[in-house]
Structure 1
Amino acid sequence: MMAKRVISGLALLAAMFGPATAAMSAPIVMNETEAQTPALPPILNARERAATENRILAARLDTIIPAIMREQGIDVWLMVAREYFEEPVVASMLDAENMHARRRTILIFHDPGHGKPVERLTVSRYGLGGLFAPAWDPNKQPDQWQAAADLIAARDPAKIAINTSDLYQFADGMTLSQYEKFTGALPAALRSRIVSGEALAIRWLETRTPAEMEIYPSVLRTAHAVIAEAFSRAVITPGVTTAEQVQWWYRDRLLQLGLEPWFHPSVAIQRAGVKGMLEGAEVIQPGDLLWTDFGINYLRLNTDTQHLAYVLKPGERDAPAGLRQGLVNSNRVQDILRRQFAVGRSGNAALALARAEAVAAGLDPSIYTHPIGLHGHGAGPSIGFWDNQNADPRGSGVINANTAWSIELTTYAAVPEWGGQRVDFRSEENAFFDGKTVRFIDGRQTEITLIPSGQ
């Protein structure tokens, strides 16, 4: 049903912009195999991006909101944001032209029941791109809080959800000052009906729609193409280039492309005979195993990828077999973890099952997988942490269908060619869980990238 209601983004963009978006007519589709040297997809201009973001947001509001409010049995969901202090859920509901809340913006969803459409109201001076109907006339009621309270009281809801949560930052948007103002205006009989909107906030943020999954492969391909460029002789000159120079190259490259990272890129070196990771001003040398962690935010979707590269020594044609086997091991743990995804299973349970199977197979894993989507470290249950491989309160939530994940983990292995040195084979790839299977959005790294020494 959801897929039928979502208008094809490609058709809409073609109708609006004609030949300017012709490059989007052959979209990248989800696949299990990552291209070795992926080409950079066309980058949309500002107007095209806004059209795409607004189309997807409208579809999300039309489809997700009614589903999750009825799933959770909530009649009214109220959120508050102030200019430059937008809480995560409200920020995700602003259209592309409204970059911030105006003054104080109050959003109210009301489900009247009986199959009727959910009302989307804003108790503010502005209608937010036509996605929310303005429901406040300051000339009739100067007090904004009283206007919101009157609107809610007239609908007599059994449950009023506000975003408050001790566990999840995504669902803790209601500040103390705004809560006091709201409850002070609300009739006393309705105050006992206030409940936490934690589940609503998580479900809204974690759910991926067909329209989002239509563009996610291209977003991820963009990140993969930039990583491929970083791990090449176009950027790295062995014996000259430092790890931090590659980090800042990423930042400059994204500026050129009109894109943004959601965290500062990481680049580090593992080297035979040297313990741990080398970073910063360390010069990259032939024989080094390089690691990068890189993510972008584009069209409101985030990527998070970790790849490995090997700098060939003079005369070498491939990475040492022990290093290649290390990546194979990490790929095996990815597959083991993917098999543990099940609707209704907690993140902690998936972690325990995956670790048990991996250890039984003779592997040495550390799993720290997280949801991804509107945020890089997204809303939803975590599956392990690098510093905690046991059950964690943040992993107690259940896995749901139509969610995206950053399959992030590592395995450790002794590398014979490095004198038995214990090496860290970090891997991170983004995937989609449709409720039955976990598929990579734009493939995964299965072969270590090779960088010629040039000698």
Structure 2
Amino acid sequence: MKKLLSLLLLLQVFITIAIAQQMPPILPLKERAALEDKLLQERLDNLLPTLMRKQGIDMWLIIAREYNEDPVIKTMLPATWLAARRRTILLFYDQGADKGVERLAVARYDIGNLFKGAWDPEKEPDQWKRLAALISERNPKKIGLNFSPHFGHADGLAKNEYDNLVKYLDKPQQKRVVSAEKLAVDWLQIRTDSELELYEQISQIGHNIIAEGFSEQVIKPGTTTTDDVMWWFRERVAELKLEAWFHPTVDVQRANPGAGDSQRSFAQRPAQEVILSGDLVHVDFGITYLKLNTDVQQLAYVLKPGETDAPDYLKKALATGNRLQDILTTNMTLGRTGNEALKAALAQAKKENIEASIYSHPIGYHGHGAGPAIGMWDMQQGVPGTGDYPLQPNTVFSIELNAKVNLPEWNNKEIRVMLEEEAVLTPTGMRYINGRQKELLLIPRQNKSGTYLAQ
């Protein structure tokens, strides 16, 4: 814990320097890896035992082969382990509250300081036979395996590995095999307090990059294309030694209802367009840092000659999108399923005459994370399976949605106010991690103080 606090203090120093230099606060790779490992150890020591006992699983096996990794095992390997090696088997056994959860690697190697190696091929050449012996010695009541009909994140056990395991288990042990779906989903979606503290800085990095990209330094009206800006975002992410977990989208909506409007289609990427004065520009952008992801959509207005602010009707359109965010987040309460939250939010939006589309999702180790789906763009009646999962505390969500707004000033054209921001579900409700967009970004920049406002 002391080492984790020291690394957090080091990160805070980088943040302070970054703010002074107006640069994103990003750790060098070595310090980044050390912090990732300390965060993982904290999760394994403190979070995992609670989750195993909550689900009533006293043994959890995670089995993967090199280049065919289980999505869960990738979140449990040290930062310097970029993949499983040969066949890697992690064994978790709950010895009770006094002794805690035993962590073994049924593999040729220790896995850092996190998992003690428990297989010596010189003594027992058969890896499966050794695993079966370890299971028999511990005699678990339930053996959780990663297979799931609903969550791909929790369905990482390959059929060959399952068949081999079952072949080596005796009949009583075979009857104790259960799906670890809920355990795997909760492990992936629930964040520790340390991770939530860091998530604010990660979200700020993403916001800073968007503000850079949506500025006069990058966009020259009449010259710069939406494709140019998309690739600027990719280059900027690479320059900062970060990763983009999806290729960004940049599109425009404008007064002319004919050609030259690249409003995003969910079914296909928008066409490349030259960005013009008077355009409403939209970005969908996400980064990966410290193994956590962001997913943000924001809007900018390109000022016409002589303008110093966006038109009031566009500000009102953004306010409608903000109101839809409020409706959704107030309906996201602990214990409610994703489908229940979706249904309640859409009903309330309809009463307020907001034409809404909601497609929010958990985010964390994965961009489209494990946990309750709250709609999809083509499933506004609810999402079977994943939408039936209840909302859990300390889960970070991408509050993703759009509101359709008619603009008489644009010849009664209908635009979509597409917004997305990260928020965490707490016992007292939803809280935006690093604020949300409540003012349009302006190109060229007029407001030097920033546009990311608290909830």
TM bracket, shorter-chain basis: over 0.9
Q: Which of 300, 304, 314 pairs up with 2:305?
A: 314
Q: Which of 331, 351, 376 pairs up with 2:342?
A: 351
Q: Which of 126, 146, 152 pairs up with 2:109?
A: 126
Q: Report what 2:120 is aligned to.
A: 137
**What aligned pairs does 1:178-189 form with structure 2 within 5 A after superposition?**
178-189=161-172
| Cα distance in structure 2, aligned partners of 1:451 and 1:417 | 20
| Cα distance in structure 2, aligned partners of 1:312 and 1:321 | 13
Cα distance, 1:379 vs structure 2: 0.7
| Cα distance in structure 2, aligned partners of 1:304 and 1:453 | 23
Q: Report what 1:115 is aligned to.
A: 98
Are 1:277 and 2:262 counterparts?
yes
Cα distance, 1:23 vs structure 2: 2.4
Alpha carbons 1:39, 1:225 under 8 Å: kept: no
Aligned residues: 436
- Classify 1:346/1:7 alpha carbon distance in 2 versus 1 (closer, same or farther; 3 Å): farther
Q: Report what 2:395 is aligned to.
A: 403
Cα distance, 1:12 vs structure 2: 3.6
TM-score by length of 1: 0.92
Alpha carbons 1:150, 1:186 under 8 Å: kept: no
Instruction: Spell out, residue by residue over 1:243-285, the C-alpha distance to the aligned partner (whole angstroms, 9 max, x if none).
Output: 0010001111111111110000100011112266354431001
Alpha carbons 2:262, 2:271 under 8 Å: kept: no
- Classify 1:26/1:11 alpha carbon distance in 2 versus 1 (closer, same or farther; 3 Å): farther
| Cα distance in structure 2, aligned partners of 1:27 and 1:337 | 34
TM-score by length of 2: 0.92
Cα distance, 1:24 vs structure 2: 4.2
| Cα distance in structure 2, aligned partners of 1:228 and 1:25 | 19
- Classify 1:402/1:202 alpha carbon distance in 2 versus 1 (closer, same or farther; 3 Å): same
Q: Which of 314, 324, 332 pairs up with 1:333?
A: 324
- Classify 1:207/1:13 alpha carbon distance in 2 versus 1 (closer, same or farther; 3 Å): closer
Alpha carbons 1:312, 1:453 under 8 Å: kept: no
| Cα distance in structure 1, aligned partners of 2:331 and 2:233 | 34
Alpha carbons 2:262, 2:272 under 8 Å: kept: no
Q: Report what 2:438 is aligned to.
A: 446
Are 1:170 and 2:161 counterparts?
no
Q: Report what 1:424 is aligned to.
A: 416
Cα distance, 1:197 vs structure 2: 0.6
| Cα distance in structure 2, aligned partners of 1:405 and 1:277 | 27
Cα distance, 1:8 vs structure 2: 7.4
Instruction: Spell out, residue by residue over 1:310-345, the C-alpha distance to the aligned partner (whole angstroms, 9 max, x if none).
Output: 111112222222211111011011111111122111
Moved more, 172-181 or 273-282: 273-282
| Cα distance in structure 2, aligned partners of 1:364 and 1:7 | 51
Q: Which of 202, 214, 235 pairs up with 1:252?
A: 235
Cα distance, 1:13 vs structure 2: 5.3
Q: How many percent of aligned residue pairs carry the same amino acid?
A: 48
**Matched position secondary structure for 1:261:** coil
Are 1:213 and 2:205 counterparts?
no
Q: Report what 1:229 is aligned to.
A: 212
- Classify 1:146/1:372 alpha carbon distance in 2 versus 1 (closer, same or farther; 3 Å): same
Cα distance, 1:87 vs structure 2: 1.0
| Cα distance in structure 2, aligned partners of 1:407 and 1:27 | 27
| Cα distance in structure 1, aligned partners of 2:3 and 2:335 | 30
| Cα distance in structure 2, aligned partners of 1:390 and 1:39 | 44
Instruction: Spell out, residue by residue over 1:197-253, the C-alpha distance to the aligned partner (whole angstroms, 9 max, x if none).
Output: 100110000010011011111111111111001100100000000000100011111
| Cα distance in structure 1, aligned partners of 2:166 and 2:235 | 48
The gaps in structure 1 that reach 5 residues or longer are 1-5, 29-37
Are 1:70 and 2:53 counterparts?
yes
The gaps in structure 2 that reach 5 residues or longer are 264-269, 447-455
| Cα distance in structure 2, aligned partners of 1:177 and 1:404 | 34
Alpha carbons 1:40, 1:226 under 8 Å: kept: no
| Cα distance in structure 2, aligned partners of 1:84 and 1:369 | 30
Higher RCO by CA contacts (8 Å cutoff, separation 6 or greater): 1
Q: Report what 2:449 is aligned to.
A: none
Alpha carbons 2:262, 2:273 under 8 Å: kept: no
The aligned amino acid for 1:443 is G
Alpha carbons 2:335, 2:390 under 8 Å: kept: yes
Q: Report what 1:59 is aligned to.
A: 42
